[in-house]
Amino acid sequence: MNVIIQPNEQAATQLVARLIAKTLRGRPSAVLGLATGCTMERLYAALADMHRGEGLDFSLCRTFNLDEYVGLPPDDPQSYRYYMNHHLFQKVNIDLRNTHLPDGMAPDLEAACARYEAAIRDAGGIDFQLLGIGRDGHIGFNEPLSALRSRTRPQMLTPSTIAANGPLFGDPARMPRRALTMGVGTILDSRRCVLLATGAAKAGVLAKAVEGPIAAMVPASALQLHPACVIVADEAAAAGLAGKAYYRFVFENEPEWAEFR
Ligand code: F6R
């Protein structure tokens, strides 16, 4: 695992955008695993800027989102399909037929999850998995106690997640209690994963995920098992990390990061 600490939210976001841009320039048909949430809104704005300003090309890439609410149709403004169209897909030259989210409207949710796993496999697996982190330690919607080998499946959301996302629904009672999410095991199968964490509200949980024991109670801690995982945090989110001096030393000296310093 690499931990990269940036002075502020904008620098952290920009660094992740540059990592994605480098992946796409190296392999235009790359398979990207995508996340939603407030943190990613700024990242998608940065990618849209790179598309407009530098011609970053999305025409051949394929995408699989981590999760989708159960029971929200794609045209519901709170659905993650709507979010992705609005924040990224309509702002770049992606082919919408190459974009995928789990089908939270499927009559048979288990079958929809199995189809999603098969589609990821058929695409050759995920090259670059983008992640945020929930205050309860979730990645995707893998809530505490998610099996570390779990696959795409329906998941009941925690009160903490409902409290965090409920206000976005206007009336929190309208927020679905369940979602379909890639599993922790699905995420760990990606060839590379990058978690972006910004803001003081993530400091406690990020320290547990990076430096605590690997535990199903903190699903993000499973990333310690990933052979190519990068955590990018701003100073506020990194505040609880004990090993900051060492992480900075690695970032300053590792040749891989020279172009990002
Ligand atoms: C949603 C997802 C979640 C979010 C997490 C953080 O697709 O993957 O794990 O990344 O809930 O959300 P924000 O950025 O809103 O704090």
Nearest CA to ligand 1 atom 10: 132
Q: What is the position in ligand 1's atom list of the atom closest to the CA of 161? A: 11
Cβ neighbourhood burial of 248 (10 Å; 0-12, 13-18, 19+)? middle
- pLDDT given for residue 173 in this prediction: 87
Query: Which residues form the catalytic set?
Result: 67, 136, 138, 143
Task: Pull the structure tokens for residue 79.
Answer: 């659905």
Q: What is the position in ligand 1's atom list of the atom closest to the CA of 37? A: 15
What is the CB < 6 Å shell around ligand 1?
Answer: 35-39, 66-67, 132-134, 138-140
- pLDDT given for residue 46 in this prediction: 98
Nearest CA to ligand 1 atom 8: 140
- Whose tokens are 């796409």? That residue is 24
Nearest CA to ligand 1 atom 3: 140
Is the Cα dihedral 19, 23, 25, 28 positive or negative?
negative
Nearest CA to ligand 1 atom 5: 134
- pTM here is 0.98
> From first to last of its 261 residues, what are the pLDDT tens digits of the chain?
999 999 999 999 999 999 999 999 999 999 999 999 999 999 999 999 999 999 999 999 999 999 999 999 999 999 999 999 999 999 999 999 999 999 999 999 999 999 999 999 999 999 999 999 999 999 999 999 999 999 999 999 999 899 989 999 988 889 999 999 999 999 999 999 999 999 999 999 999 999 999 999 999 999 999 999 999 999 999 999 999 999 999 999 999 999 999
CA distance 226 to 219: 13
The terminus-to-terminus CA distance of the chain in angstroms comes to 18
Q: What is the position in ligand 1's atom list of the atom closest to the CA of 202? A: 16
Q: Where are the beta strands (DSSP E) in 66-167?
A: 67-69, 99-100, 128-131, 153-156
- pLDDT given for residue 192 in this prediction: 98
Given a contact cutoff of 8 angstroms between Cβ atoms, the answer to whether 138 and 42 are in contact is no
Task: Pull the structure tokens for residue 83.
Answer: 């979010």
Look at residues 109, 117, 133 and name the one whose alpha carbon lies nearest to residue 212.
Answer: 133
CA distance 199 to 205: 11
Mutate to test the pocket of ligand 1, among 68, 133, 186 (most ligand atoms within 8 A of CB): 133
CA distance 167 to 64: 26
- pLDDT given for residue 172 in this prediction: 82
